[in-house]
Amino acid sequence: MFAALCASIALAEDFKTINAKEYRNVTVSRIEPDGIVLKSKSGITKLCFTELPKDVQERFHYDSAQGAHFTGDREATGAQQNAAFVEHPLGGTADQFIGRYGAPQDSPSPRQEFPPFAASDSSHLCI
């Protein structure tokens, strides 16, 4: 266990963007053609190589042409997915809802373990 803890500490790094934003005590989770994905205590962050200094870009073998192609493909896929949501928004008219999701079905009846409350039965009222 101690060895695993030391290994995780040894892999922690600090990164500084060209805009002077610092990411301390992070680990590189994944390397993508257009950037690196960092993990920290506060979550996961992706830094694009265009935000990082040249030495970091070279360290991770950044190829600007490949990165631009990868980013363009991801943006095109995202635009297609967003277009699908615009074409089929949630809600709409009742007929549109039924067309998308089917007719509503009745819920099963509630359990009848207790008799229903009768208004004329005043013995159960708290006054």
pLDDT of residue 125: 42
pLDDT for 2 beyond 60: no
pLDDT of residue 24: 93
pLDDT, tens only, 5-55? 444 444 789 999 999 999 999 999 999 888 899 999 989 999 989 999 999
Pairing of strands 35-40, 13-16: unpaired
pLDDT for 56 beyond 80: yes
- Could you list the beta-strand ranges (E) of the chain: 13-16, 22-32, 35-40, 43-48
Read off the pLDDT of each residue in 63-86 and give the average, rounded to a whole number.
Answer: 66
pLDDT of residue 112: 59
